Structure 1
Amino acid sequence: MAGCAVFLLAANAVSAQTTDSGKYDHNDIFGPITWPVTSGNTRSASGQPGENYWQNRADYLIHATLNEGKQDTTITGDVTINYTNNSPDKLDYLWLQLDQNLFKPDSRGAAVTPISGDRFDVKGFSRGGYHIESVSVTYKNQTYTVKPIISDARMQVRLNTPMGAKGDKIIVKVNYSFSIPVYGADRMGRQKFKQGYVYEIAQWYPRMCVYDDAEGWNTLPYMGLGEFFCDYGDFDYYVTTPADMLVVGSGDLQNGAAVLTPTQQSRLAEARNSDKTVMLIKPEEVDQPATHPFKGILTWHFKMQNSRDVSWAASKAFIWDAARVNFPSGRKGIAMSAYPVESSGNDSWSRSTEYLKSSMEIYSTGFFEYPWNSATSVSGVALGMEYPGIIFCLNNLKNKQLWGDITHEIGHNWFPMIVGTNERKYMWMDEGFNTYINVYATDRFNNGEYKDTAKIAQKTLRIYRKSIDPLMTPPEAIGLHDYAQYYYKTSLGLQILRNDVVGPERFDYAFREYIKHWAFKHPLPYDFFRAMNDATGEDLNWFFKPWFFTTGKLDQAIQSVEYVDGDTTKGAIIKLVNKGKLAMPVVLKITQANGKTETINFPVNIWQRTGVWEFKYPSTSTIKTMVLDPEHELPDSDLSNNVYYAK
């Protein structure tokens, strides 16, 4: 589309600046920079959606059946996608994501998995991947069959007639099946427990790729680490399973009277009015006939509005509990947990709903109100994975680890489920922003039960000290041991901006404005940079450019102290040096021999012209000690030159 090439060239020009060699150069940091722009006034200079912003829409009707076998369990189903093209472009073809194809033995993800394996352990299996039975298109009341072009985890549907622009609609229907992997790249799968398998089902239907104003079709394949990018729409889905299973899913259950016993319905109603966790299926009831009295198969019906995805879980082994969620507007919701007896206990999953409920309330009050009615936490094979309204967390976590997993995964419902960033390209925009709000939640949960008072700057520096890839590196290209910086370096950067650069009041306001304006939309990194500059009233490009586009390190140093006329009572000339590739504000704690202690703050602007800063300090006696960054808020790479002792 028009303007796309200019956008990409500008982005690449910024991305190329990744080295950490040489001395401090103020022009590298404070020189002029203009972030890339899209054409057609789709995004504004203030970092908000522009006057002509558009995004496409995909509404889904899905039917799926879980078929348990002795050696294999499969999903068979069909998906009907009502797709709306709000772009100014006609579309000759459509692209769909086939994420299950990651598990084909010849997938790209399997091909690039190291011999030693990794967390995602994508090796593929002989029955893995989608079996696409048929694809049909309905356009202008004409229906025809399409032979799709399948390339790894993407499927191209070529249209007989181009789809019109600016609101035109088309229907695509796909019949499909796949075998459920045992370990689905740490995002889904199945695990056997004493009372049955727990199935965590995700990436379970063919879905639309995003067509946007920046790149047209976003067709990067699913390869394991890089997650997802989806359009928003309404979901109406039906899940059929053996009748002795409980199914929990994204959105609201529509047919509770048909799939739940009267006792379970009564307890669920009680939970909707209780701030304390209410047991819906108790541990001793899990394998009792009265818990699942239905015979044969059962179909569960869910709906979710204005979401970018849905997921579900099923098991005959589930304990089930719930509690009310209180949103700041006065609206009420419900938090639920489903877990096997092996996960129960007050030091473990019996507190899951408490953790989930508190996280939803904290994030809703602090950032943006949770827009849906329910959320469920599921114990199973996945270490931690997020979907709108449902999260999968590892079954054997306890206490602080379980809290951390649950608050992180439900936090993803804000980034990227509400603020819909492209996880395949900009992983830091969801993992890092989410890690930042996780710290906020942990500080506030249960009067600080799990609050960490340790400073994180030096710990974070250790994680990315040897990294060779900047944060703007796409996840499938970053070093296998480097991707943790997406989480921690990004989070630390936001904390530095908040606490050390612009201050909590201005930062918090700007961050909430960014969320508000981009809720249920697709921001780019440059929209975030512009939004924060505009709402804080600061040009923060000196921070954004090196922090996200380079691997530069910070090294502030105290170089020398000289007294005026050699007299300690006449004042001292103190020389500070910026020896690294980053610039930061300066906090200097000075202690004189007479006992006077003072902390001096300098803005980052002292480094705008040079890497050396001299100032006169009105000493009245010998300066005994000086310490840069005394509270260790900054990731200074050499602490040895941060301290001065009088000789």
Structure 2
Amino acid sequence: MKLLKFLFLSVIVIATGANAQESENARQMGHTDQNKFRQMKDLLATPNESRTASGAPGYAYTQQKVNYVMDIRLDEANNRIYGEEKITYHNNSKDHLEYLWLQLDQNMRAKNSKTPDITTETFNAPFNGPQVFTNANLKDRFDGGFKIEYVKNDDGTDLSHHINQTMMRINLSKPLAPGEVFKFQIKWWYNINDINVDGGRSGLETFPDGNNNYTIAQFYPRLCVYDNVEGWQNMQFWGRSEFALEFGDFEVKITVPADHILEATGDLQNPKDVLTREQQKRFNQARKSFTDPVFIVTQEEAEINEKGRSTKTKTWHFKADQVRDFAFASSRKYIWDAMAVNINGRAVMAISLYPKEGNPLWEEHSTRVVANTLEEYSKLTFDYPYSKAVSVHSERQGMEYPMICFNYGRPNPDGSYDERTKRGMIGVITHEIGHNFFPMIVNSDERQWTWMDEGLNSFVETLAELDYDPNFFTGNLPKDIVPYMGGDQSHISPIMSQGDYVHQFGPNAYTKPAAGLYMLRHTIMGPELFDYAFRTYSQRWMFKHPTPADFFRTMEDASAMDLDWFWRGWFYTTDYTDIGVKEVKQYYLTDQPTERAMKIAELYNMNLEDYKDRLVYYAEAEDGTVPNDAKSVEDFDVLNNYLESLPDEERSKLVKAPKHFYQVTYEKPGGLVMPIIVELTYEDGSKEREMYPAQIWRYNEHEVTKVYRTDKAITRIVVDPDLETADVDTTNNAWPKQVQKSEFDKFKDKVRG
């Protein structure tokens, strides 16, 4: 044994001498730390008393509160919204505020809006048909936007203000001190856009019978967020990146035609004034039905109702506490059903409103999907705190607000529908109802970081959809995003990009974050560690304003896992995964000196015959198979004698010496480090899985080697057999190498075909 140690040390000394000049050059050049596992202190904000290093809110964390009292009138004859609001702004920060900023989102549709001006145009409309050509070139621009009638102080005097596109600044006569409250009022109106003609996240849909479906949101001037990260979040609304809003209490009265059915954020305060006795009775039945929806308004009743036109009005009165926004839907065409959902012993109402054009698909699935979503999201985050969740059908919408959302998924006119339509409807309802958790409660800044609500929500949506239907195609699994990850780098943006300028908005903000979190849960962390950390984040930041750093830090803090390598690679770069098998060498034991052993012996003037009872050699099988005359382990007396000389305690810890040895080199052409997941297939057909943590790449990010010692010959090695890591090129994933197309090439063939 002393001789072997001497030979090993000699080889090391020789190698060190050969690389001396190279090492000296490295010392002279110098470099910065570019290791994939370096910590993220260069990317994350410094922790402070407001936001701690653990990812939790600090003792000095504050946030503002805004209360609204509104009177709203829907003018069906002219398709207008008229409104008056009284706003109470609580300055809970430690800052003196010189002004307040409000969002005027409807102004993106004003005639003088700059939103159309930032869109590149090409003149190809004639090839798309006369309607497209007319809308693009002959139609006068829709007269949208807020018409502000007044902005006044609480005492009725005029309040100085200035409008800059989609933002309005309230000029305070004196700074608003910490702890002070400021009250003011605004009166306005605007023309409601037709979502099928003018687009928009809210508006109206017109039916051939002359009736409208009103899905109304962003309908009132509302306060911007002021916090200790951004100050005022007053980035202009260009139509894509969504909203940053403060929590508060709402009291809203909405006047609509008397034959309309209406739902909104909050709890209805006057059911006896707006519902018939039968409708009240049915809704009370629904409160006790936990298995099937109960119809409050049937299709037959809705079809009768849609044929009339009441000239009278009703006022629906709602209150909502601790919500960040308010929306409502109103139409005389609505079918209305509801059922109760058991959220940890508390009954929450799952509700759907839809015209007959949504059936039979909507009555079969909508309310059940709402219920399933509330149950599954509550398991992974926190118990749903509100009293209800409402799904409203609109032909081309998918948009979320507290307690209410607007969803597409319409069957053919004859009521038939294909699997794609059904899946799309279930998916959008799950997604939009899920937004009640992110960002309606875990209230991230959507204008700045779209992925924090869309990506996190899409991830939990995936789990909820698979619970509703185990065969559901979610589109959010790692294997689903391979075409995007392996695409043209000039049209891919890092996830950590502000939403208005990213390329491929959907994959960037929705599917890549969702697939990454699924990978974290399923492959990297495991469900137990992931779920605890994710639940910790969700509960820490309920009704607060988290940032990306708060999420990243909490996930590590609650799991004892260093994930900086994952956040840095998956969220801050456009690198992709590509891990494969570079080389496989097979070795066998022999009692004959190998060529390498003889060269070493010659170098040190050794006679190997003198050590034949003390040495065991190994040789590489050049053709990948073990020669017939190869020695079995049992044939080596020198090895067996050594083992027999060991104390019983040490010998009991040893396993049977293997007959086969494989040295496998794994390569990583891709820029991302990921765990190496390996499936070994043996000569008898049995299989075995190994997973090496991503940290295996910490010293060499280009290639690593592992040795497999086994009694059975290995016939096949496959990397990432279940496509868990979004590997963009699977042609190098197997040994022996087989001619096969990568997942990306398969996708391209499918598109071309």
TM-score, normalization: structure 1? 0.89
Shift of 1:112: 2.2
Structure 1's 533 and 205: CA in aligned 2 closer, same or farther, altered over 3 A?
same
The within-5 A match list for 1:238-317 is 238-275=253-290, 276-288=292-304, 296-317=312-333
Which whole-Å CA distance do the structure 2 matches of 1:233 and 1:463 have between them? Answer: 40
Q: By percentage of residues, which structure has more strand?
A: 1
Q: By percentage of residues, which structure has more helix?
A: 2
Does the 8 A contact of 1:185 with 1:224 survive in 2?
Answer: no
The within-5 A match list for 1:522-561 is 522-561=545-584
* Residue 582 (structure 1) aligned with residue 708 (structure 2): no
Which whole-Å CA distance do the structure 2 matches of 1:531 and 1:308 have between them? Answer: 24
Bigger Cα displacement from structure 2, 613-622 vs 519-528:
613-622
Bigger Cα displacement from structure 2, 585-594 vs 486-495:
585-594
Which whole-Å CA distance do the structure 2 matches of 1:378 and 1:488 have between them? Answer: 24
- Aligned match of 1:92: 98
The within-5 A match list for 1:44-193 is 44-69=52-77, 72-115=78-121, 125-138=141-154, 144-165=157-178, 167-183=179-195, 185-193=199-207
Which whole-Å CA distance do the structure 2 matches of 1:451 and 1:292 have between them? Answer: 41
Shift of 1:80: 1.1
Which whole-Å CA distance do the structure 2 matches of 1:300 and 1:433 have between them? Answer: 34
Does the 8 A contact of 2:47 with 2:53 survive in 1?
Answer: no
Does the 8 A contact of 2:409 with 2:424 survive in 1?
Answer: no
- Aligned match of 1:423: 446
Shift of 1:185: 4.0
Which whole-Å CA distance do the structure 2 matches of 1:550 and 1:536 have between them? Answer: 24
Shift of 1:56: 0.6
Which whole-Å CA distance do the structure 1 matches of 2:688 and 2:315 have between them? Answer: 70
Does the 8 A contact of 1:419 with 1:518 survive in 2?
Answer: yes
Which whole-Å CA distance do the structure 1 matches of 2:199 and 2:47 have between them? Answer: 37
The structure 1 residue matched to 2:216, chosen from 197, 201, 207, is: 201
Shift of 1:593: 3.6
The structure 2 residue matched to 1:29, chosen from 29, 36, 39, is: 36
Which whole-Å CA distance do the structure 2 matches of 1:284 and 1:474 have between them? Answer: 48
- Give the 3-state SS of the residue equivalent to 1:598 in structure 2: strand
Higher RCO (CA 8 Å, separation ≥ 6 residues): 1
Does the 8 A contact of 1:66 with 1:240 survive in 2?
Answer: yes
Does the 8 A contact of 1:37 with 1:43 survive in 2?
Answer: no
- Aligned match of 1:322: 338
Structure 1's 433 and 571: CA in aligned 2 closer, same or farther, altered over 3 A?
same
Shift of 1:474: 1.1
Which whole-Å CA distance do the structure 1 matches of 2:404 and 2:140 have between them? Answer: 25
- Give the 3-state SS of the residue equivalent to 1:516 in structure 2: helix
Deviations 1:316-353 (A, max 9, x none): 1111111112111x1112121111111121x3344311
* Residue 475 (structure 1) aligned with residue 499 (structure 2): yes
Shift of 1:147: 3.3
- Give the 3-state SS of the residue equivalent to 2:34 in structure 1: helix
Bigger Cα displacement from structure 2, 540-549 vs 330-339:
330-339
- Aligned match of 1:487: 510
Shift of 1:63: 0.9
Q: % of aligned pairs identical?
A: 35
Deviations 1:433-465 (A, max 9, x none): 1111111111222xx365349993232121343
Structure 2: gaps of 5 or more residues: 1-31, 126-134, 412-420, 588-618, 627-658, 739-753
2:181 counterpart letter in structure 1: K
Structure 1's 316 and 195: CA in aligned 2 closer, same or farther, altered over 3 A?
farther
Structure 1's 454 and 31: CA in aligned 2 closer, same or farther, altered over 3 A?
closer
Does the 8 A contact of 1:245 with 1:292 survive in 2?
Answer: no
* Residue 599 (structure 1) aligned with residue 651 (structure 2): no
- Give the 3-state SS of the residue equivalent to 1:322 in structure 2: strand
Tell which structure's C-alpha radius of gyration is larger: 2
Does the 8 A contact of 1:423 with 1:430 survive in 2?
Answer: yes
Which whole-Å CA distance do the structure 2 matches of 1:278 and 1:590 have between them? Answer: 54
- Give the 3-state SS of the residue equivalent to 2:556 in structure 1: helix
The structure 2 residue matched to 1:353, chosen from 367, 372, 394, is: 367
Shift of 1:365: 2.9
Shift of 1:113: 3.3
Shift of 1:476: 0.6
- Give the 3-state SS of the residue equivalent to 1:257 in structure 2: helix
* Residue 406 (structure 1) aligned with residue 429 (structure 2): yes
The structure 2 residue matched to 1:627, chosen from 707, 711, 718, is: 718
Which whole-Å CA distance do the structure 1 matches of 2:114 and 2:550 have between them? Answer: 31
The structure 2 residue matched to 1:641, chosen from 718, 729, 732, is: 732
Bigger Cα displacement from structure 2, 564-573 vs 484-493:
564-573
Shift of 1:592: 3.6
Does the 8 A contact of 2:483 with 2:728 survive in 1?
Answer: no
Structure 1's 602 and 267: CA in aligned 2 closer, same or farther, altered over 3 A?
same
Structure 1's 594 and 242: CA in aligned 2 closer, same or farther, altered over 3 A?
closer
Structure 1's 277 and 293: CA in aligned 2 closer, same or farther, altered over 3 A?
farther
Calculate the aligned-residue CA RMSD, in Å. Answer: 2.4
Which whole-Å CA distance do the structure 2 matches of 1:399 and 1:422 have between them? Answer: 32
* Residue 341 (structure 1) aligned with residue 349 (structure 2): no
Does the 8 A contact of 2:481 with 2:507 survive in 1?
Answer: no
TM-score, normalization: structure 2? 0.77
Which whole-Å CA distance do the structure 2 matches of 1:201 and 1:103 have between them? Answer: 15
* Residue 465 (structure 1) aligned with residue 486 (structure 2): yes
Which whole-Å CA distance do the structure 2 matches of 1:498 and 1:306 have between them? Answer: 31
- Aligned match of 1:8: none
Structure 1's 643 and 429: CA in aligned 2 closer, same or farther, altered over 3 A?
same
Does the 8 A contact of 2:462 with 2:476 survive in 1?
Answer: no
Which whole-Å CA distance do the structure 2 matches of 1:86 and 1:155 have between them? Answer: 21
Structure 1's 449 and 634: CA in aligned 2 closer, same or farther, altered over 3 A?
closer
- Aligned match of 2:392: 378
Does the 8 A contact of 2:458 with 2:476 survive in 1?
Answer: no
2:275 counterpart letter in structure 1: L
Which whole-Å CA distance do the structure 1 matches of 2:58 and 2:226 have between them? Answer: 17
- Aligned match of 2:9: none
- Aligned match of 1:516: 539
Deviations 1:81-116 (A, max 9, x none): 111111111000000000100111332322223436
- Give the 3-state SS of the residue equivalent to 1:515 in structure 2: helix
2:426 counterpart letter in structure 1: W
Does the 8 A contact of 1:592 with 1:619 survive in 2?
Answer: no
Structure 1's 297 and 395: CA in aligned 2 closer, same or farther, altered over 3 A?
farther
- Aligned match of 1:227: 242
Does the 8 A contact of 1:363 with 1:411 survive in 2?
Answer: yes
Which whole-Å CA distance do the structure 1 matches of 2:736 and 2:33 have between them? Answer: 29
Shift of 1:620: 4.3
